[in-house]
């Protein structure tokens, strides 16, 4: 399922809403999550899962093609941990 398929489904379930509003709803949700992570906040959606940011230290990596050592800078990466209820749904 893509974002546009999700929007189409929501529009179909909510015929009283304009398609453009449904688009804004979906965009707002994911944009708020991204903004929270960019601030270093965590987003916890009980039953679904939690988005957080993990810190990766700088390290010496290697160019796999040339074998040359390169310095990889420290960075922050987004992380998602599946919620209990969703994990059970996936395995049932």
Partner 1 sequence: MAGETITRQQLSEAVYQEVGLSRNESADLLELVLEKISQTLANGDSVKISSFGSFTIRNKGQRIGRNPKTGEEVPILPRRVLVFRPSQVLKARIGGAGPGELD
- Residues in the site for partner 1, rule: CB under 8 A? 1-3, 6, 9-10, 13-14, 17, 21, 24-26, 28-30, 32-34, 36-49, 52-53, 61-64, 70, 72-73, 75-80, 82, 86-87, 89-92
Task: Return the sign of the alpha-carbon dihedral for residues 54, 55, 57, 63.
Answer: positive
CB of 75 to partner 1, least distance (A): 4
CB of 2 to partner 1, least distance (A): 5
Tell me how far apart the alpha carbons of residues 35 and 75 are, in angstroms, rounded to a whole number: 17
Is the separation of the CB atoms in 49 and 86 below 8 Å? yes
Q: Give the residue with the Cβ less far from partner 1, 15 or 75.
A: 75
Tell me how far apart the alpha carbons of residues 31 and 79 are, in angstroms, rounded to a whole number: 16
């Amino acid at each position: 399922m893509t974002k546009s398929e999700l929007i189409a489904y929501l529009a179909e379930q909510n015929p009283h809403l304009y398609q453009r509003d449904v688009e804004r709803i979906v965009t707002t949700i994911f944009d708020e999550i991204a903004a929270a992570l960019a601030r270093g906040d965590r987003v916890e959606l009980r039953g679904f899962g939690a988005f957080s940011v993990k810190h990766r230290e700088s390290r010496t990596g290697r160019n796999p093609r040339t074998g040359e050592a390169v310095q990889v800078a420290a960075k922050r990466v987004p992380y998602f941990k599946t919620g209990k209820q969703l994990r059970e749904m996936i395995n049932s």
